[in-house]
């Protein structure tokens, strides 16, 4: 299912696992714009720091069985 059709169903939360994998830069930018306009919560897993810096308000690092707030004041 595509992001647009999911968002059109008005969910309260989106769960995304590595959403930018295999996307070109134009598509990533479109996804960023869509997520910034999305009124609900988004929980996503990503290794793409540039993507996270654009869309995330909070970043958590999970490693070795523990999670903690990460980074520069997200």
**Domain segments of the chain: what residues?**
3-69
- Between the alpha carbon of residue 67 and those of residues 30, 38, 47, 54, 59, the distances in Å are 29, 26, 15, 21, 10
Q: What is the DSSP letter of 9?
A: T
pLDDT score of 28: 96
H/E stretch holding 5 reads helix 3-8
In a structure prediction context, what are the per-residue pLDDT tens digits for the chain, which is 74 residues long? 576 777 677 778 989 999 999 999 999 999 999 999 998 999 999 999 899 999 999 888 888 999 998 876 54
The model carries a pTM of: 0.74
**3-69 topology per CATH:** Rossmann fold (3.40.50)
pLDDT score of 61: 87
């Amino acid at each position: 299912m595509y992001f647009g059709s999911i968002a059109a169903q008005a969910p309260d939360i989106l769960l995304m696992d590595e959403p930018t994998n295999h996307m070109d830069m134009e598509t990533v930018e479109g996804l960023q714009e869509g997520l910034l306009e999305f009124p609900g919560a988004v929980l996503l897993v990503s290794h793409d720091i540039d993507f996270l810096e654009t869309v995330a308000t909070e970043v958590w690092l999970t490693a070795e069985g523990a999670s903690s707030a990460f980074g520069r004041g997200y």
